[in-house]
Chains A and B, each alone.
Chain A
């Protein structure tokens, strides 16, 4: 790989991408009240610009950009690195956080006549904290640093789940916290073993030193288990549906679209960046099987839900399952197709799911409930919201043209090309089941029943949700250059 030991041009952008939300978070906390909201709303477009500039630099250099903190090269210092997938995830996170901030504005603005109120302040601080933690995860190059980022992500996500203080949301948040704590302590034990065996935690240095020894296998198993609990892969998904369904819509969108992808991103880093040389076919098959079980179980349970937000949350469980098919599919000769498919699935799901949670929130506010059985005729009063749900559902099912279709099509191609045709069964079955649960939402809504909204929906919020689904659809038209960009910095076995 020839990792340079110096800061490359544009490296300072990585520091800025982390500092912007951190500074915003601290200022929001100290200044408080209405200023917290203004800081969050003003900083998100800057963060988007920074992420785009990072992507531009990575694309121009054609290799990862690096920043050495304090000028000290690893193993003594800590390096921040952005490769193709980091840059793409930075941009995706910035877009979704920006959308969530503007979507949340009507609900979480500090009421007139009050200097400061609890839940808006918590929301704006935690939104920026989640964003900061995600940015560290996407560019971090040191496993212990990444552990701290993972914890920051959890500590920021848990308060968002119980922000309205109802006891059921607190129980959901506590269950989420306990699963996440198990995940992080297991990850930390793996980090300790890696350090003990190889004396460094830098991802690129470790990749050169690891061998298939029992210590490395144990460390990898512990870290993977921890990350699976945080990513909510079946059968460790129990915390996700209540937590994501009970959070306010803007928070659910960030939790479902981005937060679970943070720990998945580290799983990718672990297996494809640190341990690509290990003979891990069996591990890949186990992860693929768990993913397939998640696709089937999540979709079937989603079909049985009475509440719209719970249905969407179980759909997240199913869509996370698809992500783990990357492990068997992105190995061997056709690894590039599997890799593109996995990243496309991350992005398509992030945008489509965020838009669907936004729409579910709009719907719950307009109708006063989110019981699917009582949605009769709702599409007549909320046409734009249901257009968003339908388009988002299109991507979840994997119908062309959409990002979801590209992801699933590439996965099918990869499984046929690598001779592992068995993986096509869960991919196809998942699409069929997804069509079933999306139909369950749309069929009653498009019926002739009469329904009267409690409140008219806000046009600006509807447009934000629609814009996110438009991105999910547009991903279906991604050119080859985009897939080449995702390959930047990916270690390929056999090519040092």
Chain B
């Protein structure tokens, strides 16, 4: 098994674990961590693509590496927004994704 194949499989496994966590964990913070795991897997796959796609005497194709850096910045920004929202939610007492938690006890007659 060559290092490229091993890294590719690791990337695929990370994406799989991340997806599993994103779907199954009810807590938003765990979902966010799972998303970051998926992100790491995708970036690893980009790294392998950079190595395989190299041509014309380059050891690495620089384009996917530039994409990974952009992707990391975007994923970081996304995580920052999500953490900010989770912090705001924790101030209100319930960290949940169900918007009806706050309205259900007060006006139960509307349902």
Contacts and interface: CB of A to CB of B under 8 A. Distances in A.
A487 interface: no
B52 interface: yes
Contacts of A147: 71, 74
A interface majority secondary structure:
helix
Contact of B99 (A155, A171, A371): A171
A306 B111 contact: yes
B45 to A, nearest CB: 5
Interface string A24-50: 000000000000000000000000000
B13 interface: no
Contacts of B85: 158, 162, 170, 173-174, 177
B78 to A, nearest CB: 5
Given A172-B99, A185-B35, A307-B110, A196 B52 contact: yes
Nearest to A307: B110
A144 interface: yes
B91 to A, nearest CB: 8
B59 interface: no
A144 B86 CA distance: 29
Contacts of A199: 53
Nearest to A171: B99
Interface in A310-348: none
B54 to A, nearest CB: 10
A413 to B, nearest CB: 40
A387 interface: no
Given A178-B31, A199-B53, A242-B99, A170 B82 contact: no
A171 B42 contact: no
Q: Which of A147, A167, A242, A306 has the most CB of B within 10 A?
A: A167
A174 to B, nearest CB: 5
B74 A192 contact: no
A182 interface: yes
A177 B101 contact: no
A125 to B, nearest CB: 14
B31 A155 contact: no
A440 interface: no
A182 B98 contact: no
Contacts of B103: 168
B31 to A, nearest CB: 5
Given A158-B81, A182-B35, A174 B42 contact: no
A181 B94 CA distance: 22
Contact of A178 (B22, B67, B88, B102): B22
Q: Which of B38, B92, B93, B99 has the most CB of A within 10 A?
A: B99
A171 B78 contact: no
A464 to B, nearest CB: 28
A174 B90 CA distance: 12
B110 A195 contact: no
Interface string A195-232: 11001000000000000000000000000000000000
A185 B78 CA distance: 11
B28 A178 contact: yes
A147 B64 CA distance: 14
Interface in A139-192: 144, 147-148, 151, 154-155, 158-159, 162, 165-175, 177-178, 181-182, 184-185, 188-189, 191-192
Interface in B7-51: 15, 18-19, 22, 28, 31-32, 35, 38-39, 41-42, 45-46, 48-49
Contacts of B101: 168, 171
Contacts of A395: none
A461 interface: no
A151 B80 CA distance: 13
A371 B94 CA distance: 26
A246 interface: yes
B6 interface: no
Contacts of B45: 189, 192-193, 196
Given A177-B81, A178-B22, A185-B42, A167 B102 contact: yes
A246 B98 CA distance: 13
B99 A144 contact: no
Given A177-B81, A182-B22, A195-B67, 19 more contacts: A147-B71, A147-B74, A151-B74, A155-B81, A162-B88, A167-B93, A167-B94, A171-B94, A171-B102, A173-B85, A175-B99, A178-B28, A178-B32, A184-B74, A189-B15, A193-B49, A195-B49, A195-B53, A196-B48
Interface of B: 15, 18-19, 22, 28, 31-32, 35, 38-39, 41-42, 45-46, 48-49, 52-53, 63-64, 67, 70-71, 74-75, 77-78, 81-82, 85-86, 88-89, 92-94, 96-103, 110-111
12 contacts: A151-B78, A162-B85, A170-B88, A171-B99, A174-B82, A175-B97, A178-B32, A185-B35, A188-B71, A192-B49, A195-B53, A195-B64
Interface of A: 144, 147-148, 151, 154-155, 158-159, 162, 165-175, 177-178, 181-182, 184-185, 188-189, 191-193, 195-196, 199, 242, 246, 306-307, 371
